[in-house]
Structure 1
Amino acid sequence: MPRVLILGGASFYGRWLVTYLVENYKTGNVRVLDKTTPECSLLSSRCRRAFAEVEFQQCNLTLADAVEQGFQRSDGQPWDVVYNLACERRLDMPEHAYEESICTLTHTCADAAVRHKAKLFVQVSSASVYSDYHEDVIDVSQLSPLSVSARHFYRADQTLLRKKDLNVIIMRPSIVYGPGDPHFIAQMMMVGRVHRESNTPVYSYLSPDRHLNTVHVHDLARALWHVFLWYRDSGREGHEVFNITDLDDSTNGSLWSIISRLFNVSVKFHWWFVSKILTSATANRVIAEANAKVIPAWSRLLRQAGIQDAPLTPYFNRYHLLPPTVQVDGTKLCALTGFECLVPRVSILALKDMIREWQELRCWPLPDTTIVDSYDEGAGGNGNHAGRYVDEIVKASTRRPHRRHKAPISHGSSKSAVDPSDRIIPLHSNMSDLR
């Protein structure tokens, strides 16, 4: 097993990378650094079992002395790969919080990686760094003014790419969802659940055509390990940048379509006046009115289920009202490294899998009888989960590139570095339920 250091391993992304490594590989050389301990991170039973198999150190990754101790090994050997998944990803945070927990954190950890001669540094950035109006081009002047975090991710990425003495892979995922997701799609699901309870339509203030590409967190975890094996076994050096997104070009309309079928609610789109309310004094009033409808209703649902405190919240802010476009081309990752997504699109069963984990953690009403017991189109109603799993693997093996393409890809002469187990062993045993 290579020597692996995971920064921010207790985060949403990090916990599934840890789980993937524990369930599929020997993990004697895996160390996790995070300021939050696993006991305080609201981990599922599956993730808790995984963390019991790795070395954990509590560490403030913005402090150079603490990071230095976290990087030290008793045998003096360098880390084969360092994963940075610790950057701040919550929405609507103050700018100084992003400055410290994205830029400062990345700079501090990258400097430590150089000092300790780490062989590869993998930075998990964000696809939001691409501008809304330029195809796969980073133009800071064109970034949405709501994407404060994107500006800081861009700065952190540039800092890494300027380091000539550190091998770097930058991974830019689209909107990540899956079990344990506390963010964007989770918020949409809570809104749908509240409106199901009140039997009222959901109002979306975003065009149904707005691109909101997605990737399942299990595929992200697999991709992070996959690119390391590819990079190591092909003998590469220097920098690489990859986008990662699923095979479906998700939009606001397609996401709400799935959520509306999950909860049997109707969705109405009123995007035609969004540009006006976001540039006027009425914006705050619209957001306040939306919160006044969903937050008390969600709290009431939790109280009725005997749940006193839960981290999930349907709270709206301006980012939710008009999120930046997320549409990226993931062809390079597939074509150059041979990676394949096992969860090619958002599905009802994938969302149900998220709800099951929240129920285990007592963050979602249990039992929840409002969820429609239906499958996605083409899946059938015979309950043949294994059959649907095989069907989706076949779909994933015939990758459909996005409509937009980046610059031509140089494939080089590297051989495939894909571990056979990375293709046939899913992240967890009930992977078929995600179809």
Structure 2
Amino acid sequence: MNCARNAAKSGVRRYVEVSSGEMTNTSKGLVKEDDKVIPITSVAKYKYEVEKELKNIPNLNYTIVRPAIVYGIGDKTGLTRKLIIGSLYRNLEEPLLILWKGSTPCNTIHVEDVCRAIWHLSNLPEATGGTYNLVDSGQTTQDMVAKIVSLLFGIKHEFLGTVFSSLCKNDLNKIVCEANDKHSIPWAEACSTSDVQNTPLSPFIEKDHIIGSSIQMNGSKLINGSNFVLNYPTITADLLKQIVDDFIKMNLFPKTLLDSTL
């Protein structure tokens, strides 16, 4: 909020608040900007509180954007975590078990399209005071991501389904702890083997990452309402491999974990 208040005092032409698309609505359909939303994650909860406070700041010309799950070169917290975890299962020699269903929506947006959309909206007078969903047109699901991760790292994956996953809801904290314990040692060993001495990347997950809530957003306000054109309408194996390749070039990701045939 301090940034927003200072922006108002300085009379900036436009203040863009990057919120979160990790929200759902009461109808369980595609989430629109004007829906009564329910934040899914802890981060989204506080981001939504900030959204509501912005309109109370005098003289602030603001626009709110709600990105879906962000991926692309430089991403450390979106799909990259799935790439890191998936990379460990070739050496573990077992399938990657994933809670919930493959059809669970986890809509995405490429980081370059996020940056382009922010610039586009900041120069759009009618976007002042508005909220915009940033989401690609690929309607990404868990299965789409899992298939790409499996291809990149030469692994197999299985979805545990709704019934089993629902039974696990009361034990999510335990599941998170066990998963983090299971992944931390092979990650450290892979980093050591590839001489990755210091990296911000980690397979560490939190409860919010496995609760199974759908992230499905309606992006028509940005696309149709402001004539924004996506450069990356859907995720592909090449786009996710670019993330890994970039981290390998910076010696932040163990190169031994990437399938050398790709």
- Whether these two folds match at TM > 0.5 is yes
Distance change in 2, residues 1:132/1:264 (3 Å): farther
Q: Deviations over 1:323-355 (max 9, x none)?
A: 532111111111122111111111111111101
Letter paired with 1:206: W
Identify the residue that residue 321 of structure 1 maps to in structure 2: 210
The answer to whether residue 257 in structure 2 is matched with residue 365 in structure 1 is no
Match 1:124 to one of 7, 10, 18: 18
Query: Does the aligned pair in 1 maintain the 2:87–2:257 contact within 8 Å?
Result: no
CA distance in 2, matches of 1:372, 1:201: 20
Instruction: Tell me what 1:411 maps to.
Output: none
Which deviations, in whole Å up to 9, do the C-alpha atoms of 1:264-312 show, x marking residues without a partner? Answer: 2111111332222222xx4333223222322111111110011122111
Q: Is the 8 A contact 1:262 1:371 kept in 2?
A: no
Which segments of 5 or more consecutive residues in structure 1 lack a partner in the other structure?
1-106, 374-435
CA RMSD of aligned residues (A): 2.0
Q: Distance in 1 between the 2:206 and 2:27 partners?
A: 23
Partner residue, 2:59? 165
Q: CA deviation at 1:111?
A: 1.6
Contact 2:98 2:160 in 1 (8 A): yes
Distance 1:189 1:340, change over 3 A: same
SS of structure 1 residue aligned to 2:17: strand
Residue 109 (structure 1) aligned with residue 3 (structure 2): yes
**1:138 counterpart = 2:73:** no
Contact 2:180 2:204 in 1 (8 A): yes
Say whether 1:311 aligns with 2:200.
Answer: yes
Q: 1:388-434 CA deviation, whole Å, 9 max, x = no partner? A: xxxxxxxxxxxxxxxxxxxxxxxxxxxxxxxxxxxxxxxxxxxxxxx
Q: How far, CA to CA, are the matches of 1:228 and 1:342 in structure 2?
A: 18
2:175 is the counterpart of 1:286: yes
Distance, in Å, in 2 between the alignment partners of 1:169 and 1:339 is 15
Question: Counterpart of 1:127 in 2: which secondary structure?
Answer: coil
Match of 1:171, SS state, is strand
Q: CA deviation at 1:183?
A: 1.2
Given residue 160 of structure 2, which amino acid in structure 1 is its aligned partner? H
Partner in structure 1 of residue 117 of structure 2: 223
1:344 match: 233
Aligned to 1:354: 243
Is the 1:294–1:314 contact (alpha carbons within 8 Å) kept by the matching residues of 2?
yes
Paired position in structure 1 for 2:143: 253
2:166 equivalent in structure 1: 275
User: 2:154 matched to 1:264?
Assistant: yes
TM-score, structure 2 normalization: 0.90
Report which structure shows greater RCO (CA 8 Å, sep ≥6): 2
Deviation of the 1:250 alpha carbon = 0.5
SS of residue matched to 2:136: coil
The aligned residue for residue 332 of structure 1 is 221
Q: CA deviation at 1:371?
A: 4.7
**CA shift at 1:133, angstroms?**
5.0
Shift of 1:260: 1.1
Letter in 2 for 1:216: H
What SS does structure 1 have at the residue aligned with 2:74?
A: coil
Q: Report the AA paired with residue 257 of structure 1.
A: K
Residue identity opposite 1:152 in structure 2: Y
Count of residue pairs the alignment pairs up: 257
Percent of residue pairs identical: 25
The answer to whether the 8 A contact 1:129-1:138 is kept is no
Amino acid at match of 1:278: K
Once residues 237 and 173 of structure 1 are traced to their aligned partners in structure 2, the CA distance between those partners, rounded to angstroms, is 16
- In structure 1, what is the Cα distance between the partners aligned to 2:248 and 2:108? 23
| Closer, same or farther: CA 294–308 of 1 in aligned 2, 3 Å | same
3-state SS of paired residue (1:184): coil
Secondary structure of 2:116's counterpart equals: helix
Q: 1:201-212 residue pairs with structure 2 within 5 A?
A: 201-212=95-106
CA distance in 1, matches of 2:97, 2:134: 30
CA distance in 1, matches of 2:95, 2:261: 16
User: Is 1:148 equivalent to 2:48 in the alignment?
Assistant: no
Larger radius of gyration: 1
Deviation string 1:42-72 (CA, Å, 9 cap, x unpaired) is: xxxxxxxxxxxxxxxxxxxxxxxxxxxxxxx
What TM-score do you get using the length of structure 1 for normalisation?
A: 0.56
Q: Report the Cα offset of residue 360 of structure 1.
A: 2.0
Go from structure 1 to structure 2 and tell me whether the alpha carbon gap of 1:267 and 1:367 turns closer, same or farther (over 3 Å shift).
closer
SS at match of 1:268: strand
Q: Could you list the runs of 5+ residues in structure 2 that have no partner in the other structure?
A: none
